[in-house]
Structure 1
Amino acid sequence: MKLFLNLLLFLAVTSIYSQNSLSGSVFNSETNESIAFANIYFPQLEKGTTTNEVGVFSIHNLPTGNYNILVSIIGFETYSQTIQIPYQEDLKIALLPSAIEIEEVIVSTPFHKLQSENVMKVEQRKASDLKSKGAINLAEGITNIPGVDGVSTGISIAKPVIRGLSSNRVLVYTQGIRLENQQFGSEHGLGINDAGIESVEVIKGPASLLYGSDAIGGVLYLNPERFAHENESETNLNFQYFTNTEGLNTNLGYKSSGEKFKFLIRGSFTEHADYKTEDYRVTNTRFNEKDLKAALGYQDVNFKTELRYNLNASKLGIPEEIGIQNLNKSPLLPYQGITNHIFSSKSTLFFENSRLDLNLGYTYNDRKEFEEEHHHDDDEDHDDDDDDEHDDDEHDDDEHDDEEHHDEILHPALHMKLKTFNYDAKYHLPKFGKFETIVGVQGMHQINTNYGEEVLIPDATTNDFGVLATSHIHFEKADIQLGARFDTRNIKVVNSIDKSFTSFNGALGVKTNLSKNVVARLNLASGFRAPNLAELTSYGSHEGTNRFEIGNENLNNEQNLQIDLALEYKTDHLEIFANGFYNIIKNYIFLSPNGDLINDDPVFLYLQDDAKLYGGEVGLHIHPHPLDWLHIESSFETVTGKLNNDDYLPLIPANKLNNTLRVEYNLKPLNKGNAFVTLSSAFAQKNTSVFETETSGYNLLSAGFGGEINVFKSVLQIQITGTNLTNKKYVNHLSRLKPDGIYNIGRNFSFSLSYTL
């Protein structure tokens, strides 16, 4: 307590003597004209403002120290520079005109730099840009990022796949903490609504140095919506309609910031009927979702903190076969009922030339799954008529009403509650010469408890602890990042196993300019993943998996080593990139059938063998002079995965080629207009595991246009997008409905409106 009081006294004293202000101006380096409404932002402080009509800005209550300042606006290169606060004179910033899109700060890596300054290759996309491509949800939207795909069950359930690895091999972060929502299940989705998500970052490759176990394949990092600028407020309404499912995504948000306190809240509602192919609707792919996000922030000179809360409640139909054909939006049996609470606290203490970051999180995931056999007796007659249901829509509606009536009194077949506490503390040491260094500790305490009739995963407690150190070294012609980490994980299963797993990992990366226009990044990193509860202890059938899984308590750590080479060529009007990787995984865990049947389901065992994955992504972006409004983009991605015996790994995405023609324009009354046409080609996947079938290739055509108009002196954004315009009948290799020959979604148009006050 005495130490705590002394710390508070120290903060109070430093606040008195460390309040600083910065003033300056922003102008065009070629014409010397002032630039109005440019964004000024300090990423370490999460504090910013904009220039006024004559290009002047001022920002107050800055702590003493060295901080990176970013200045960005459309049509100019993003300016990045480290300055010392206090700054004794007005800061004059010259921006270079450019047709290249604005660069944003990379948050998922610890030094918070622009991607052009980052040693690791990280892909970043704005959530709004992903939605503009016509994606129904966030999980579908991220598949537009090269090297990223998704294992899907219809349109409501999807899991991210990064370079052929998914499930517990890809770690998801939201609100600055790891997302824990029973993600071991192959039919368990992402569980995050895109409302209130600012941007998405993808680390492709082992990130155990930064995040510990489960980041062996990469990290999907979701950046939450930012607070409003100081002394500003904003109300925003979004509406999106989808013709294929007659679905709605709608959300309303408000945020306001004073000199010290900040607040935001956003609520959303989503519902979709079964999606349609050219021949039929896919029964029970319907779903609905309610989401609430709220945040409260406080910022003084030497201290800032924010508290965030996310409540997500969803009902997701589990498709099994083609049956009922209607447009009802409440799921039939079987379905998942999921309630997820995420509490997070993110705080920073600023000292002179150093700082301490502390992130705390608590996730409460309540998962229920209801199955057909749990109907009451008076509903059994309806079940006998399943084969004829699609012929009588009126009967379908009546039966659906009966199911709705009984939802509240049905007992879930599977009911699990997962409670997880996370902590992450990182101390940024004072800069020493060319060295920026961070040391830290991370950990997790997790309890899984069963309440349902079935127990697929037993009651268990998991504890993680890790300690790390990493440095960024600045040389004249190169930047080097290196680090090391030690982790331990203990898993205790009630009245059963008590196992501990340990691992030591490291990473080394270098970024250098091979020439004026060519940047090279070479990274070598190891990673690990401890076996999860499903792999250690499963024994039973799970709704939707169509298999009986048996765990193996003798499984060892997965341990990998990946080398990654990224090359970028960039001029004012041409960008070319090529990324290649080779990933060696020792003790790769996989499911394999043994030929037996239990309860008419094939038995699958968890086995281990060494594996390797290799491939990469190449692409280009042309915006020719003087046609800066024209953009031609193309990317190709490939990955191959094999076991040590040369058998192919399961769930490896097919090779993909994407070609996009995009234009930007201003035609009154439409401002910031955009239009695009995209042809996405998936090649045939013939490199399949022993229990997979080959998948044919296909081409999907999409197009869209939109822009902004002023309505009552505020901005209304409009976007109209069509996907699968030819109504192609196709099956994605990573669709969990593929074994039943069920097609993916057909032609769909989306209409989006976003109004900001």
Structure 2
Amino acid sequence: MKKIIITLIIGFSAMLQAQNKVSGTVRDGANKPITGVSVYAPELHKGTTTDANGKYILDNLPNGNLNVTFVFVGFSNQNKTITNLQKVNTLDVVLEETLFQMDEVIVSTAFNKIQSQNVMKVEHEKMIDLQRKGTATLSEGLATIPGVSQVSTGTSIGKPVIRGLSGNRVLVYSQGVRMENQQFGDEHGLGLNDSGIESVEVIKGPASLLYGSDALGGVLYFNPEKFATANTFKADFSQKLFSNTLGSNSSLGIKTSSENWKFLARGSYSTHSDYRIAGGDRVTNTRYNETDFKTGIGYNNAKFSTVLRYNYNKLDIGIPEEGIAEQTSSKNTEFPRQGVFNHLLSLNSIFYLKNSKIDVDLGYVANDRSEFEDSNVAGLQMKLKTFNYDAKYYFPKMGKLESIVGIQGMHQTNTNSGEEYLIPDATTNDFGVFGTANYEWKSNVIQAGLRFDNRQITSIAHGEPEEEGYFKSIDKSFDSFNASLGYKTNLADALTLRLNLASGFRAPNLAELTSNGVHEGSNRYEVGNSDLKTEQNLQTDLNLEYGNSHFEFFVNGFYNHINNYIYTSPAGTQIDANDVFNYIQNNAKLYGGEIGLHLHPHPLDWLHYETSFETVTGKKQDGDYLPLIPVNNWKNTIRTEFKIKNWLEEGFAALSINTTLNQNKVSGFETSSNGYTLVNLGFGGKVKLGKTAFDLSLNGNNLFDKSYIAHLSRLKTDGIPNIGRNVVLGVHFNL
């Protein structure tokens, strides 16, 4: 069957005549050819591998410029740009041995440079590296990245926090499309599963120039799984088991490609019981089940490249209300619970002109979020439908100057089907236009841009005046101009300096404008404010990093001033025994940063020591602290890499000690938090038993079963600790 599929695809592609071609040989420092090097053109979603002689060929390439990456384990990445492709092009590459993190192409920024050329410091993490840490959820894995944390509700719900900002202030992109899933809610998670995701890029700071409203605090940009290399068929299966939640995660994927066509599909299923705290008790109704399916099909030739992807995600989540009550290992959620269905359809197309190109992204997101209080009839049901568009024109490169202009927009409708209304029926329309330019000379880069946005929000009146659940109609328009300026230079051969100044904005969301009732999961009666203004910020970022073959060091500092910061404030009154909170505005500031080093001493090539410290402080103009500010955190990891005879390759063992300090800088209605230290241990590698080979990982998180309560846990007010010891076993087979 496998051969039939490959033959059909290759046969159809053979009818398409190739135009431009790139070929060459990849060698090591001793001039020996390297077999199995991944040669990939990211823009075309197309790749191949080198043969036994280190040779490769990429066919059917467009005119203009082409970026090609060369990746092989144990060697540094090479990223090459071929300008003005000819019919036949030769590109020979020499890879140098290294055990350090490799330089990656950054997709989330405007010009898709490799990190060493990028004006903005962007954190790039491969999903496999986050998964090897034994984390149970995607949000938990993201929280291991310096400068990123999470607001959590048990183990099932996590909302990312970037340098103290979260919710609608952090924009999430998947498959090149902005995710819209009622992210204003405290109990509304990412709605994404890490299965089928290749990597994540984190922009820590305002990115409104490229992404518009809601990118005021930063961007999480998820890169989907790559297609198979040309003329191959691959299938794989992975399984994870979690001791704490008695959980299981299974994933099965297939993919195949010819020279022009490519296809992939992946399905996964996760199920977890209530999580166990230190000492043995389980937190009632923190169980959840998740089904995820991703598929994609792509085509490219010398004139254009297009990829259509679809992601379906179904989440059944228990909402903990009783704390530590009924003790059971059942995975069937009880009432109250949430049911969340998410459909994401994306289409990316690139049209190649003579020396320029047009890049178009279209996306449709349908989010159905229901809450079931005591029956299978949803009391609260919100249906959010969002259509996104993004079109960019890349001008022909003029010497060392590159430039882009683009338009971006969104049409969104929210409708309620249940008896309860959290927000009204409403329509939101966004439109933005921007331009940006990049000038590079020697080791210096300057990048600047300007953008204008307009957001229109109209809602429908609901309910009776003076009663809970009444929403008056609104018709609001918000405008914003934003700009960015960045400079990168090499102060020395291995010392890089980046300085960025950027503004960002966020229009008020529907909950802030219209709320009138008890907020879900709290005892607060929240009252919206239709007169709220746009949040506008200005952030300065400084990044200094040094790296050689045995030592890496970085320091990041930022200062973020926000005008018209929106937050809730107690009114001093009550409605039906619930304290009333009003949405108000005040200027605010956040400042802090991250510092870290990576030591790989010679001649101990198998040993790595990594450490990082992160801190952020947030204050209102009146001197009071902002709520939900992450705690200062110090992370230390000792990692070894090894090989055991012929049965274990790419082996690793890691010991991490994460220390979270006390948090006493809290908002008026928050409580302080005690510090704690968690110890994690990990082991794994590629196991070979005869003709059978598979990847194995074994992690012990919170190894000493420490009882602790994270400052950003929503169960903190009830005194409920976070998860206790969790042993995670994972295997991955290529079928």
Q: Which TM-score bucket, shorter chain as reference?
A: over 0.9
Question: How far is 1:711 from its partner?
Answer: 5.2
- Gap runs ≥5 in structure 1: 1-14, 376-409
How far apart, in 2, do the equivalents of 1:231 and 1:697 lie?
Answer: 54
- 2:494 pairs with 1:517: yes
CA change 1:154–1:16 in 2 (3 A) is closer
Amino acid at match of 1:566: N
Q: Which residue of 1 aligns with 2:5?
A: none
Q: Identify the residue that residue 305 of structure 2 maps to in structure 1.
A: 304
**Which of residues 438, 441, 453 is equivalent to 1:472?**
438
**TM-score, scaled relative to structure 2:** 0.94
User: Which deviations, in whole Å up to 9, do the C-alpha atoms of 1:383-408 show, x marking residues without a partner?
Assistant: xxxxxxxxxxxxxxxxxxxxxxxxxx
List per-residue Cα deviations over 1:106-125 (Å, max 9, x = no partner).
Answer: 11112112111111110011
Residue equivalent to 1:245 = 245
- Is the CA contact (8 Å cut-off) linking 1:306 and 1:346 kept in structure 2? yes
The residue identity in structure 1 corresponding to 2:297 is L
Give the equivalent residue in structure 2 for 1:341.
343
- Secondary structure at the residue paired with 2:168? helix
Cα distance in 1 for partners of 2:585, 2:722 equals 32
Equivalent residues in 2 for 1:588-607 (5 A)? Answer: 588-607=565-584
Distance 2:692 2:350 in 1: 35
1:159 aligned residue: 159
Question: Structure 1's 654 and 591: CA in aligned 2 closer, same or farther, altered over 3 A?
Answer: same
Deviations 1:320-365 (A, max 9, x none): 2221111011111111011111111111111122111111011110
Say whether residues 1:493 and 2:459 are aligned partners: yes
Counterpart in the other structure of 1:322: 324
Greater shift in the superposed pair: 525-534 or 411-420: 411-420
| 1:735-750 map, 5 Å | 735-750=713-728
| Preserved CA contact (<8 Å) 1:336 1:370 | yes
| Equivalent residue, structure 2, for 1:76 | 75
Structure 1 residue aligned with 2:547, among 565, 570, 582?
570
Give the Cα separation in 2 of the matches to 1:289 and 1:81: 40
Contact 2:20–2:88 (8 Å) recurs in 1: no
Whether the 8 Å CA contact 2:550–2:599 is kept in 1: the answer is yes
Q: 2-side partners of 1:232 and 1:113: how far apart?
A: 28
Aligned residue type for 1:655: N
670, 675, 678: which one aligns with 1:692: 670
**Aligned mates of 2:174, 2:543 — CA distance in 1:** 27
Whole-angstrom CA distance in 1 between matches of 2:16 and 2:298: 21
Q: Deviations over 1:58-100 (max 9, x none)?
A: 1111112122222221222222222131175532212222221
Q: Cα offset for 1:16?
A: 9.0
Contact 2:47 2:228 in 1 (8 A): no
Q: Say whether residues 1:371 and 2:404 are aligned partners.
A: no
Amino acid at match of 1:231: N
- Give the structure 1 partner of residue 33 of structure 2: 34
The answer as to 2:146 corresponding to 1:146 is yes
Shift of 1:746: 0.3
1:438 and 2:439 matched: no
From 656, 659, 669, the equivalent of 1:681 is: 659
Structure 1 contact 42–67 (Cα < 8 Å) conserved: yes
Partner of 2:634: 657
- Equivalent pair of 1:517/1:569 in contact (CA under 8 Å): yes
Q: Deviations over 1:464-507 (max 9, x none)?
A: 00001111111123111110100000000114110000000000
Contact 2:209 2:451 in 1 (8 A): yes
1:667-721 CA distance string (max 9 Å, x none): 1301100110000000000000000000000000000100012357453100000
- Residue 596 of structure 1, CA deviation: 2.3
* 3-state SS of 2:33 partner: coil
Paired AA for residue 722 in structure 2: N
What is the root-mean-square deviation in Å for CA atoms of aligned residues? 1.4
Q: Could you tell me how far 1:317 is from its partner in structure 2?
A: 0.8
Between 313-322 and 143-152, the greater mean CA deviation after superposition: 313-322
* Other-structure match for 2:466: none
Counterpart secondary structure, 1:746: coil
Match of 1:621 in 2: 598
The SS at the match of 1:58 is strand
Amino acid at match of 2:346: S
Deviation at 1:602, TM superposition (A): 2.0
1:609 has 2:586 as partner:
yes
Equivalent position of 2:730 in the other structure: 752
Mapped contact 1:492–1:499 kept (Cα < 8 A): yes
CA change 1:477–1:543 in 2 (3 A) is: closer
Match of 2:221 in 1: 221
Q: Does the 8 Å CA contact 1:618/1:635 hold for their aligned counterparts? A: yes
Partner of 1:726: 704
User: C-alpha separation between the residues in 1 aligned to 2:691 and 2:264?
Assistant: 23
Structure 2 counterpart SS, 1:297: strand
Identity of aligned residues (%): 55
Once residues 509 and 437 of structure 1 are traced to their aligned partners in structure 2, the CA distance between those partners, rounded to angstroms, is 14
Q: Would you say 1:418 and 2:417 are equivalent positions?
A: no
State the distance in 2 between where 1:454 and 1:89 align.
64
Aligned partners of 2:693, 2:307: CA distance in 1, in Å? 28
Structure 2 residue 695 is the aligned partner of structure 1 residue 717: yes
The residue identity in structure 2 corresponding to 1:687 is: K
Q: Aligned to 1:539, which of 501, 516, 522? A: 516
CA distance in 1, matches of 2:283, 2:58: 55
How far apart, in 2, do the equivalents of 1:722 and 1:629 lie? 22
1:58-73 paired onto structure 2 within 5 Å? 58-73=57-72
What is the identity, as a one-letter code, of the residue corresponding to 2:153? T
Matched position secondary structure for 1:431:
coil
Residue 549 of structure 1 corresponds to 526
Higher mean displacement: 106-115 or 589-598: 589-598
Alignment deviations for residues 234-270 of structure 1 (CA, whole Å, 9 cap, x no partner): 1011100000000011111111112222111111111
Q: Does the 8 Å contact 1:621/1:631 carry over to 2? A: yes
**SS class of match (1:514):** strand
Give the corresponding residue for 1:208.
208
TM-score, scaled relative to structure 1: 0.92
C-alpha displacement of 1:543: 3.1
Q: Which has the higher helix share?
A: 1
Partner of residue 704, structure 1: 682
Map 1:264-413 → 2, pairs under 5 A? 264-279=264-279, 280-320=281-321, 321-372=323-374, 375=375, 410-413=376-379
Query: Match for residue 507 of structure 2?
Result: 530
Q: Which amino acid aligns with 1:411?
A: V
Q: Which amino acid aligns with 2:160?
A: P
Q: What letter is aligned with 2:245?
A: T
Alignment coverage as a number of residue pairs = 706
1:91/1:610 Cα in 2 relative to 1: closer, same or farther (>3 Å)?
Answer: same
State the distance in 1 between where 2:57 and 2:499 align.
39
Deviation at 1:44, TM superposition (A): 2.7
CA contact (8 A) 1:636 1:658 kept: yes
In the alignment, which residue of structure 1 is the partner of 2:469?
none
Shift of the alpha carbon at 1:17?
Answer: 9.5
Q: Aligned with 1:696: secondary structure?
A: coil
Contact 1:319-1:544 at 8 Å conserved across structures: no
Secondary structure of residue in 1 paired with 2:522 = coil
